[in-house]
Amino acid sequence: MNNAKSPDQGNRTGLTIVNTGEGKGKTTAALGVVLRAWGRGYKICVIQFIKAKTGQWGEIKAAKKLGIEWYTTGDGFTWLSKDMDETTARALHGWEIAQGKIASGEYDLIVLDEFTYPMHYGWLKTIEVIDWLHANKPKGLHLIVTGRYAPPELIEFADLVTEMTPIKHPYEKGIKAQPGIEF
């Protein structure tokens, strides 16, 4: 499964979806759509912009088993970076990969996980990203962008925007992130 575009791609309206906000669940929601799309035989690609390339999170392990194309281009959380030039270069490389995948017309769904951060930190100009998407995103491609601090221009461009709002989190009780739940 997942070898070719789905037969309905030419007939559907591809959506741009943004999951943003301070709360947990932005990537998790995107992965729910990935699983649903995989079940429909969609060709899927996920590109993570911040998480460390060395990480073997549960979703990466599952994607390998399911045959979902996955790229992790980051070096960890930006606020902990010891070399911001390297962090920036990795994010820009991720955008180059994303541009190639989007423009190829070969995919039904592409997730740009944590892609709001390169725009928020000024590594990419939001308006240039949007202009590029206007010119190059195939009509039938669904595109999901996740991350905090979604720029207003990206929110305006998107077809669907969900803001995750924290209400309660186990971390507040001193419970650390757990395998299978957070990663």
* Positive or negative torsion for Cα 14, 33, 59, 50: positive
Mean pLDDT of 160-166: 97
pLDDT tens-digit series, residues 15-70: 999 999 999 999 999 999 999 999 999 999 999 998 766 677 889 999 999 999 99
R_g (Cα) of the chain, nearest Å: 16
State the pTM of this model.
0.92
∠104-110-112 over CA atoms, to 5°?
115
Q: Which domains does the chain have, with CATH numbers?
A: 9-173 (3.40.50.300)
CA–CA distance, 94 with 115 (Å, rounded to integer): 9
The SS3 call for residue 116 is helix
